[in-house]
Amino acid sequence: MEAKGYEIGPGADLAGADLAGADLEWADLEGANLEGADLKGANLKAANLGWADLTGADLKGAEADQFTHWPKGFDPEAAGVIKAYPPPRTGWR
Burial 77-93 (b: 16+ CB within 10 A, else e): eebebbeeeeeeeeeee
Distance CA 60, CA 73 (A): 18
Please check whether residue 86 lies inside any domain of the structure.
Answer: no
Burial (CB count <10 Å: 0-12, 13-18, 19+), residue 30: middle
pLDDT at 86: 75
Chain mean position to CA 17:
13
CATH number of the domain encompassing residue 35 = 2.160.20.80
Q: What is the pLDDT of residue 1?
A: 92
* Residues of the domain holding 8: 1-67
Q: pLDDT in tens for each of the 93 residues of the chain?
A: 999 999 999 999 999 999 999 999 999 999 999 999 999 999 999 999 999 999 999 999 999 999 999 999 999 999 999 999 876 676 665
pTM given for the model: 0.91
Let me know if residue 48 belongs to a domain: yes
The reported pLDDT for the residue numbered 85 is 82
